[in-house]
């Protein structure tokens, strides 16, 4: 979610893999997910330092975000089975960090902004660890929940874009809470798909989990920023 709108989530159809293949995909997914955080943080830092994202008007920023995000996801889908897949994914995470810098910069402008950012980071990490643990414990097939989560994400996207024009703080807070719930469940769903052998491409798996983590962090940070500090 960026400026109140969640990011599109990949689809769900994939063949079932062997146990060895599942472990390989899961291992590569975790490694690539960890690596993807580096360009994200770098992009956010550059964005905050240069004020690049804040220099764009809200309308231009929204169009750049949506166009860039969907364009990159299309490119990732086209290159996921080639050597270019990982660099394209990392370029996407840098772009997402850059777009996140507007929110991060706003929160850092609060008197306790640094603490709020760290709290959001810790909260996101705790949610990820919790969902990763659940994905290893739960035995039942969770594939059916994917369609409902996808519908929820689309509704969040539409409502977020609508709130861009409405500018309702109450709706923004409601969307943030809903986003935390939906994308936390998406983390569980996507990791369970890898463990069950339903997702066989680690780049696609990383993209799905990354988007969920990104949205959870942004929603947490937005909530903390709305109620957790005063401007300096």
What's the rounded Cα separation, in Å, for the pair 163 and 180? 17
In this structure, is residue 201 part of a structural domain?
A: yes
Q: What pLDDT does 17 receive?
A: 58
DSSP state letters, 20-40: HHHHHHHHHHHHHHHHHHHHH
Q: What pLDDT does 7 receive?
A: 52
Residue numbers of the domain that contains 158: 19-227
In this structure, is residue 179 part of a structural domain?
A: yes
Q: Which two tokens stand for residue 16?
A: 């079932």
Q: What pLDDT does 14 receive?
A: 47
Q: What pLDDT does 2 receive?
A: 53
Neighbours of 217 (CB within 10 A): 25
Q: What pLDDT does 232 receive?
A: 42
What's the rounded Cα separation, in Å, for the pair 192 and 54? 37
In this structure, is residue 9 part of a structural domain?
A: no
Distances (CA, A) of 26 to 22, 80, 88, 189: 6, 16, 20, 13
Q: What pLDDT does 228 receive?
A: 66
Residue numbers in the chain where pLDDT is lower than 70 = 1-17, 228-232
Neighbours of 44 (CB within 10 A): 23
Q: Considering the entire predicted model, what is its pTM?
A: 0.87
In this structure, is residue 12 part of a structural domain?
A: no
Which three-class secondary structure state does DSSP give residue 199? Answer: coil
Q: What pLDDT does 163 receive?
A: 86
In this structure, is residue 4 part of a structural domain?
A: no
Distances (CA, A) of 74 to 61, 69, 157: 20, 9, 18
In this structure, is residue 10 part of a structural domain?
A: no
Q: What pLDDT does 217 receive?
A: 97
Neighbours of 223 (CB within 10 A): 19
- The number of folded domains in the chain is 1
CB 43 within 8 Å of CB 202: no
In this structure, is residue 129 part of a structural domain?
A: yes
């Amino acid at each position: 979610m960026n400026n109140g709108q969640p990011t599109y989530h990949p689809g769900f159809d994939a063949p079932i893999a062997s146990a060895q293949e599942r472990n390989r995909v899961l291992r590569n997914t975790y490694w690539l997910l960890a690596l993807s955080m580096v360009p994200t943080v770098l992009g956010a830092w550059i964005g905050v330092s240069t004020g690049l994202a804040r220099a764009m008007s809200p309308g231009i920023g929204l169009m750049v975000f949506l166009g860039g995000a969907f364009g990159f996801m299309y490119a990732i889908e086209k290159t996921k089975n080639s050597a270019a897949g990982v660099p394209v994914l990392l370029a996407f995470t840098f772009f997402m960090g850059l777009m996140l810098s507007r929110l991060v910069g706003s929160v850092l402008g609060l008197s306790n902004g640094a603490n709020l950012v760290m709290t959001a980071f810790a909260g996101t990490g705790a949610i990820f660890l919790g969902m990763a643990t659940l994905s290893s414990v739960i035995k039942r097939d969770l594939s059916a929940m994917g369609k409902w989560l996808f519908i929820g994400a689309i509704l969040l996207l539409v409502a977020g874009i609508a709130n861009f024009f409405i500018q309702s703080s109450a709706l923004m807070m409601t969307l943030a809470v809903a986003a935390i719930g939906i994308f936390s469940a998406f983390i569980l769903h996507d990791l369970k798909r890898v463990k069950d052998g339903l997702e066989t491409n680690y780049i696609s798996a990383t993209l799905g989990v990354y988007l969920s983590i990104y949205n959870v962090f942004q929603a947490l940070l937005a909530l903390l920023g709305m109620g957790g500090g005063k401007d300096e």
